[in-house]
Structure 1
Amino acid sequence: MPLADLTPLQWVQRLSQLHDRQMTQIQLWDAYYEGRQPLSYMAPELLQEVDDRLRQVVVFWPQLVVDALDERLDVEGFRLGGSEAASSDLWDHIWQVNDLDEESQLAHVDAISMSRAFAIVGAGDSRIDPPVITPESPEQVYAERDPRTRKVLAALKRWSEEQPDGSKEFHAALYLRDATVWFQRDSAGSPWEEADRDDHRLGVVPVVPLVNRPRLADRSGRSELASVVPLSDAACKLATDMMVAAEFHAMPRRWATGLGDDDFKDPSGRAISALSKIAGRVWATRNKDVTFGQFPEANLSNFHDSLNQLARMVAAMQGLPPTAVGLASDNPPSADAIRAAEARLVKRAERKQRVFGGSWEQVMRIALLVRDGEVPPEAMRMETLWRDPSTPTYAQKADAVTKLYAAGLLPKEQAWEDMGYSAAQIARMRAMEDDALTRLTALDLHALSTAPPTPAPQPGTPAAQAAVSGWSADAADG
């Protein structure tokens, strides 16, 4: 059956099945980011030996990789086509009202770690309320694209709500081009029933995916953790093995010959535990035939070297500076060395800005459509303004911007943006300039209006002769 002929209920069933197929992998990416991944490479025999005394040592490299990129992705405004300044309407009345300066960061983290996130646009509670924009997790939302236009054909959000009696009520929202349909059911196995419907007639699905690392043949994206997870698993295994070695081999291991079970009893005559036999600090016996000794302790430097080697591989694959993974040297690097080490990370952040910026621009266009009923032509050439992902010192940046502005190569508005000021700060500085110019003009006009009139020079005086000579010279030149 063609997708255009599917009923809303059929769409819910189709999107639910497609979403469920990817849910296991999405939840696994989330577990790696949160440090809840299962222990890998551990032999079952060793697990039985150490029993409940073994706890995995988690090396949070997946979280480090995601946060290193997210920390350099800050939206600072939107500029409409043909405009030199950022749009205060989009920033103040849509972006800030929806708390997207904070919520957008959550979307970036989910997109980088779990391959994609979503933003859903809807109408406010009343006609005068601004559009509602909510970033959404890929654990709850799934969208299907048109294979020809690559635009979203339909999207589904599923969630559950706990009832006072402890049971759960399941809900779903189906987003289509001309309508949004809500469903609900009492249990996970019961059929969906339509609960409400909104025929908005927008002509576009109000759900925008924020996709990380899309490919031509796979628009669903790829997690940034795909390349670091094997190295993280190996590091967790080595770190856990190091703790096991510290438990059994880092301390000197003692041995004794000629001891019997009667020698391992407390003063009351009760047998002591096996752990006390192993870790007891003092061994003593009245048996003269017993011989004591100890094995040399283990050296844990091999674990340190292996972990450092894995850290170098993570830094090389993800473009992280060595200091980000703990590879610090005794001699602090110079400023140029720091910038060179961050070059790849900065470039990767700029690539993320370009991809995510296109999605946020589409979100703002749909918000304008919901609010105004149309998208102005200049909004089709919208540009997302991002904070500079590099980390130059403030003095270096100010010096470079000042020289470009003084040479006439940079207008003042662009100089403000290059210095990292937000759209709100630039608007406030522009208002300060206009206010200062207004006060200066008012003072000049007041000075001219209150100044005493200049008396005309008397005939025969030097001033009059000079004025006549100047007029004659001007007339002769004319």
Structure 2
Amino acid sequence: MKSRDAVDLAQNLLQVRAFEARRLDALNAALSPTMPFTGTEKDIPVQQSVCSVPVDSDARPAVKRMAARSETNFLPLVLDTFSQVMKVDNYLSSDGKDAGPWKWWQRNQMDARQTGLHRSALHYGVAYAAVLPALTPGQEATGAEVFWNPASPRQMTAVYGERMVWDPKVGGPIDDDWPLHALEINGNMIRLYDEQDVHFIGVKSQPHSTLGWTDPSYLRAENFSYIESRHHGIGVCPIVRYRDRVLLDGEEQLGIIEPLLAVQARINETTFGMLVAQYFAAFKQRYIIGWTAKSEETALKMKANNVWTFADNDVKVGELNETDLTRYIESKDSGLLDMSAIGQLPPHALGLTKVSNISDTTLAALEAAKERKSDEITTSFGESHEQAFRLAAFIEGDTAAASDFASEVKWRDASARSYAATVDALGKLGQMLGVPDEFLWEFIPGWTRETVNRAKQMRADTDPLAQVYEAPAVPDVAMTGDNTDNGQ
């Protein structure tokens, strides 16, 4: 691709990115906390997303302060609940052994970086990972090193073809496992990926208007500077897409946060109403019609008296009852139950106090819906991980691992079970069904791949038969030519 063509393609993809940004920015703001109100007008947050109390309104400062503090955002907790149980622990080949590409996962610190990859896909409905060989300007790519770079959809935009579209270059339908092109932007630097090269493009001026990259004044050719291209030679655009679910009708991107935005807004409004009632009407209030205290001392004396008397017959004394806050609490719990049902979360994960003192069996039953949803999501993520592992193997030159479509990733077990009951069940599997111990170790709660490998090594070190089989052979002196009688 020529430099001019690369810049033109980047300009087109930036407009696609601007279209996606409206939804992605809204989802990002939904999990971003507002700044707390510290007591002055200038400290009130500019974005009042919790309730309809604009900063420039004539509402009392106390109301504005309560509006800023009424945010009770459970959406980050929803994201944490699912993200924390999705950890890849190993990658196995079709024969059940550790696959070779797993080393690139370790070298790229993906044990830790997978958290951001999974959270982005859960949050926005999609995330990406670029799997590339070592790129050197002016030289052919080498498979001696493989780099794994996850990216949020707020950083990367990828465009895909349709499976039923015939591509004359490949003599068949387009495979939508790989994008046609992808664009990654970081500040003033753009990376444009295609099936052969990575193009580096600089941006002199980024948009500051609400139109974003749809503003034609920023899409001028002179605003872009083509820097260089680096050849990867893979033959496909080396971007792997991660989706929380694979749907058949177009390119829907939902995630687990977007369906809960309306319920979260209702919880915030209920909290705001409760704070207002708590501030202004949580206590009984007395009123006097036809009399006013002449001094502050007299007013304090009246407040301290149990019985008030007045000489004027026209003076009327009354009392206003306090507002019952339990209705607001019940309304908030109702919103949390709706969020629990829609998000398939156990009620106790959202802090509902009605669930307490439950057994391990009951806890597992409560989390059944969450585990079913997690299994569906990890199935989709697992296919993407396997695609990335096969791409890493292809870059390295390991054709056997690259063509092993029966390989699979192993997820760490984080389900809610009784530790004693689980170990007892595993023991019965070994005794009654003859399942090897080394295989059952992988299902012990809390045991990672490294723990299982250490246990296997310790068993091998203490097994006398294994030591005999692994001991070097001792040469038979009687069978060698050195058995001579020096005295003859």
CA distance in 1, matches of 2:304, 2:73: 39
In structure 1, which of residues 4, 15, 22 is the aligned counterpart of residue 13 of structure 2?
15
DSSP-derived class of the 2:377 partner:
helix
Shift of residue 445, structure 1, vs aligned partner: 9.3
Tell me if the contact between 2:117 and 2:151 (Cα under 8 Å) persists in the aligned partners: yes
1:409-428 mapped onto 2 (5 Å cutoff)? 409-420=434-445, 421-428=447-454
1:78 corresponds to 2:109: no
Superposed counterparts of 1:334-373, under 5 Å? 334-372=359-397
CA distance 1:45–1:142, change in 2 (3 Å) = closer
TM-score (norm 1): 0.78
Please give the per-residue CA displacement for 1:336-368, whole angstroms capped at 9, x wherever unaligned.
221111111111111111100111111122222
Residues 87-120 of structure 1 deviation map (CA, whole Å, 9 limit, x = unaligned): 3x433x2112111111101111111111111111
Correspondence 1:172 to 2:187: no
Aligned to 1:245: 277
Percent sequence identity is: 21
Match of 1:225 among 229, 251, 257: 257
CA contact (8 A) 2:70 2:272 kept: yes
Note if contact 2:157-2:183 (Cα within 8 Å) is conserved in structure 1. Answer: yes
* Structure 1: gaps (5+ residues): 161-169, 267-276, 447-478
Q: Secondary structure at the match of 2:263?
A: helix
Q: Cα RMSD (Å) of the superposition? A: 3.6
Q: Determine whether 1:313 maps to 2:351.
A: no
Contact 1:141 1:156 in 2 (8 A): yes
Say which SS state the counterpart of residue 405 (structure 2) adopts: helix
Question: Which structure 2 residue ranges, 5 or more long, are not aligned?
Answer: 35-46, 137-141, 164-174, 207-217, 473-488
Within 5 A, what are the aligned runs for 1:30-429? 30-36=28-34, 38-39=48-49, 42=52, 48-51=58-61, 52-54=64-66, 55-81=68-94, 83-87=95-99, 89-91=100-102, 93-124=103-134, 130-148=145-163, 149-150=175-176, 151-160=178-187, 170-188=188-206, 189=218, 191-258=223-290, 294-329=319-354, 332-372=357-397, 374=399, 376=401, 379-420=404-445, 421-429=447-455
User: In structure 1, what is the Cα distance between the partners aligned to 2:79 and 2:16?
Assistant: 26
Which digits, 9 at most, give the CA deviation of each residue in 1:385-410, with x for residues without a partner?
00124211221111111111223452
Aligned to 1:166: none
Mean Cα displacement is larger for which, 374-383 or 176-185?
374-383
Tell me the residue number matched to 2:213: none
Tell whether the 8 Å contact from 1:39 to 1:237 is kept in structure 2 after alignment. no
Conserved 8 A contact 1:114-1:222: yes
Q: Is the 8 A contact 1:62 1:225 kept in 2?
A: yes
Task: Write the distance in 2 (CA, Å) between the matches of 1:428 and 1:249.
Answer: 64
- Aligned-residue offset at 1:238: 0.4
Is the Cα contact below 8 Å between 2:101 and 2:401 reproduced in 1? no
What is the DSSP-based 3-state SS (H/G/I as helix, E as strand, rest coil) of the residue aligned with 2:101?
helix
Instruction: Check whether the contact 1:40–1:234 (CA below 8 A) recurs between aligned residues.
Output: no
Counterpart CA distance in 2 for 1:39 and 1:445 is 71
Change (3 A) 1:84 1:438: farther
Separation in 2, partners of 1:304, 1:443: 70
Residue 282 of structure 1: how far off its partner (Å): 8.3
**How many residues were matched structurally?**
420
Distance 1:432 1:330 in 2: 43
**Which structure would you say has the larger Rg?**
1
Contact 1:208/1:362 (<8 A) preserved: yes
Q: How far is 1:380 from its partner?
A: 2.9
SS class of match (1:34): coil
What does residue 43 of structure 2 align with? Answer: none
